[in-house]
């Protein structure tokens, strides 16, 4: 995705059997420079400058190319399933909409009166049939719950042909979220199932279930589920195999809102049923109650395997629905961007997701590094938390996230209508070595004292004086060595009544 300016505008300091090609590629909005890293908490764009619209889908690798499929969600009709490709997981090209709602009849109707859901697309390559197999959710006509449709194509961006004109129930009932796990020639449907009791009353999202798909991956194979647990508190389930173990992930059932991610782990797929109870994925850093997968809902764990196959790293793929779902009674997380990808590591068998602002993927080497500052653009939001993942203190002073007109930025604001002091800081875990700190700032002339401090890194604490009358954005950089495995970074502000300062784009990257 490109690093084009963010598109939101704010104010600060102011009181069909064949699903064929649906048309040519859109004309570029603005050519983008190649991105050198994944910029979380921004609006992601293709290399041609188009906003990436891919919610609730999956990323998979085929013949050295990563493909990303996801839903183009709109509050109405029509919806589409979009396909993107990349060789580095950082720069993406739009290929086409491989499914698009059209007409006024059937399960893919575009009629606004039908308001048919088109979601959770899963695309994978079946080596046994040499076909790309797509499945996706549409609504049951009676109660608007999910059913599945399958389609296949001999090429990844070719014409996808439905295997049936009629959606199917995979568990003799409708369902909630789902995903697909692939291992060799086998594929498994991982889903949250609905339940109907003896009286005919339906309850939704009651089970978490894993079932093997047939050899063509176009339907559920006969036989009992590999995993079938009564659990009314989970959504967005997904499987991945890492370090020889099987991990089943799921979010909490909070609809459009961000949630913590939970997991089960086993040496075998069948063993998931008898493994320890669900545990919560560790999130670093955390502060207070902001354990919400950094403002996202779990979608997938993406393996990043080196060209020689010797090194594998993992990306946590999270969806953010705030730009899709607005004004509804079901909450959606705030913050900029529809997607956020974070590095995922393992401490023993426990998965840990690191909420870095920027993530640098070396796809050929299978490695992931990045800017280890969390919420360095101050774009994440969490209920009841003024500035998530930063600690705030001071005699007075009100520190919060604020937004500006003209440049589309969101940033930290320190300001009060009386004289104030305020300290905003974050402790960042850093392997020992040399780093470059950078940040943008601006301030009013009525600041008494203003500085950025770096301390706790094993060397002498350093205060970086900042201009007290900096109306235009300025960038400050500082190189320092870490010998303690961490560093504390923070902004000190001492101002007269109505003084103000802004801070944005805080980053710490390896230096040399």
Encode the chain (512 residues) as per-residue pLDDT tens digits: 543 332 222 222 222 334 333 333 333 334 445 668 999 988 899 999 999 999 999 999 999 999 999 999 877 789 999 999 999 999 999 999 999 999 988 999 999 888 899 999 999 999 999 999 999 999 877 788 999 999 999 999 999 999 999 999 987 889 999 999 999 999 999 999 999 888 988 888 999 999 999 999 999 999 999 999 998 899 999 999 999 999 999 999 988 888 999 999 999 999 999 888 999 999 998 765 568 899 899 999 999 999 999 999 999 999 998 766 555 545 566 677 899 999 999 999 999 999 999 999 999 999 999 999 999 998 887 666 678 889 888 755 677 877 665 566 688 999 988 999 999 999 999 999 999 999 999 999 999 999 999 999 999 999 999 999 999 999 999 999 999 999 999 999 999 999 999 999 999 999 97
Task: Give the span between the Cα atoms of 26 and 50, in whole angstroms.
Answer: 8
Task: Give the span between the Cα atoms of 167 and 165, in whole angstroms.
Answer: 7
Give 329's contacts (C-beta < 8 A, 6+ positions apart).
none
Q: Which two tokens stand for residue 137?
A: 């959710």
Cβ-contact 149, 167 below 8 angstroms: yes
Task: Give the span between the Cα atoms of 186 and 215, in whole angstroms.
Answer: 7
Residue 172 CA to its chain's centroid (Å): 32
Helical spans, DSSP H, in 7-142? none
- Identical fold, 18-371 and 391-510: no
What class, spelled out in words, does domain 391-510 have in CATH?
A: mainly beta
Task: Give the span between the Cα atoms of 102 and 495, in whole angstroms.
Answer: 58
Give the CATH architecture of domain 18-371. 5 Propeller (2.115)
Give 231's contacts (C-beta < 8 A, 6+ positions apart).
206, 207, 208, 278
Q: Which two tokens stand for residue 7?
A: 């598109």
Q: What's the Rg (C-alpha) of the chain?
A: 24
Domain ranges of the chain: 18-371, 391-510
Task: Give the span between the Cα atoms of 177 and 226, in whole angstroms.
Answer: 18
In Å, the largest CA–CA distance within the chain is 73
Cβ-contact 58, 180 below 8 angstroms: yes
Residue from 1, 39, 40, 4 nearest 294 by CA: 40
* Cβ neighbours of 51 (radius 10 Å): 17
Cβ-contact 34, 91 below 8 angstroms: yes
Task: Give the span between the Cα atoms of 87 and 45, in whole angstroms.
Answer: 15
State residue 143's pLDDT score.
80
Helix (H, G, I), strand (E, B) or coil at 116: coil
State residue 17's pLDDT score.
36
Task: Give the span between the Cα atoms of 355 and 377, in whole angstroms.
Answer: 12
Give 141's contacts (C-beta < 8 A, 6+ positions apart).
none
State residue 395's pLDDT score.
58
Q: What pTM was estimated for this model as a whole?
A: 0.90
Q: What are phi and psi of 399, to 5 degrees?
A: -100, 130
Q: What are phi and psi of 272, to 5 degrees?
A: -60, -30
* Cβ neighbours of 59 (radius 10 Å): 23
Q: Which two tokens stand for residue 115?
A: 């308001």
Pairing of strands 339-347, 350-354: antiparallel
Task: Give the span between the Cα atoms of 164 and 138, in whole angstroms.
Answer: 13
Task: Give the span between the Cα atoms of 391 and 373, in whole angstroms.
Answer: 13
State residue 468's pLDDT score.
94
């Amino acid at each position: 995705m490109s690093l084009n300016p963010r598109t939101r505008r704010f104010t600060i300091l102011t009181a069909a059997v064949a699903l064929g090609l649906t048309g040519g590629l859109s004309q570029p909005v603005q050519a983008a420079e190649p991105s050198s890293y994944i910029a979380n908490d921004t609006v992601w764009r293709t290399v041609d400058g188009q906003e990436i619209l891919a919610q609730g889908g999956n990323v998979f690798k085929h013949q050295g190319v990563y493909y990303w499929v996801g839903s183009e969600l709109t509050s109405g009709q029509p919806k589409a399933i979009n396909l993107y490709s990349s060789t580095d997981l950082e720069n993406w090209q739009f290929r086409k909409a491989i499914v698009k709602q059209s007409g006024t009849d059937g399960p893919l109707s575009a009629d606004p009166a039908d308001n048919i859901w088109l979601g959770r697309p899963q695309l994978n390559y079946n080596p046994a049939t040499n076909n790309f197999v797509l499945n996706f959710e549409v609504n049951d006509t009676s109660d608007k719950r999910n059913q599945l449709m399958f389609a296949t194509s001999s090429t990844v961006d070719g014409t996808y042909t439905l295997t049936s004109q009629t959606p199917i129930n995979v568990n003799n009932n409708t369902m909630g979220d789902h995903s697909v796990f692939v291992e060799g020639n086998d594929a498994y449907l991982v889903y949250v199932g609905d339940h109907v009791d003896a009286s005919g009353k339906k309850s939704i999202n009651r089970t978490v279930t894993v079932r093997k798909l047939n050899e063509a991956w176009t339907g559920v194979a006969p036989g009992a589920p590999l995993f079938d647990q009564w659990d009314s508190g989970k959504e967005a389930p997904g499987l991945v195999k890492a370090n020889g173990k099987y991990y089943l992930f799921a979010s909490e059932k909070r609809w459009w809102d961000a949630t913590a991610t939970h997991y089960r782990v086993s040496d075998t797929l069948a063993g998931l049923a008898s493994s320890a109870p669900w545990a919560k994925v560790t999130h670093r850093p955390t502060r207070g109650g902001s354990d919400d997968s950094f403002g996202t809902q779990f979608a997938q764990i993406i393996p990043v395997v080196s060209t020689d196959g010797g090194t594998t790293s993992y990306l946590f793929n999270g969806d953010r629905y705030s730009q899709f779902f607005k004004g509804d009674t079901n909450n959606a997380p705030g913050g900029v961007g529809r997607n956020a990808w974070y590095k995922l590591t393992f401490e023993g068998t426990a998965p840990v997701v690191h909420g870095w602002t920027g993530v640098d993927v070396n796809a050929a080497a299978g490695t992931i590094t990045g800017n280890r500052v969390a919420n360095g653009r101050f774009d994440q939001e969490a209920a009841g938390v003024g500035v998530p993942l930063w600690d705030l203190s001071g005699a007075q002073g009100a520190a919060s996230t604020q937004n500006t007109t003209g440049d589309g930025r969101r940033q930290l604001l320190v300001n009060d209508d009386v004289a104030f002091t305020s300290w905003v800081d974050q402790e960042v875990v850093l392997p020992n070595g040399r780093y470059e700190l950078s940040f943008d700032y601006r301030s009013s002339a009525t600041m008494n004292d203003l500085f950025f401090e770096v301390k706790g890194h094993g060397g002498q604490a350093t205060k970086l004086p900042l201009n007290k009358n900096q109306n235009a954005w300025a960038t400050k950089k500082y190189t320092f060595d870490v010998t303690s495995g961490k560093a504390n970074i923070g902004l000190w502000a001492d101002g007269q009544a109505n003084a103000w300062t802004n801070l944005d784009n805080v980053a710490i990257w390896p230096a040399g």
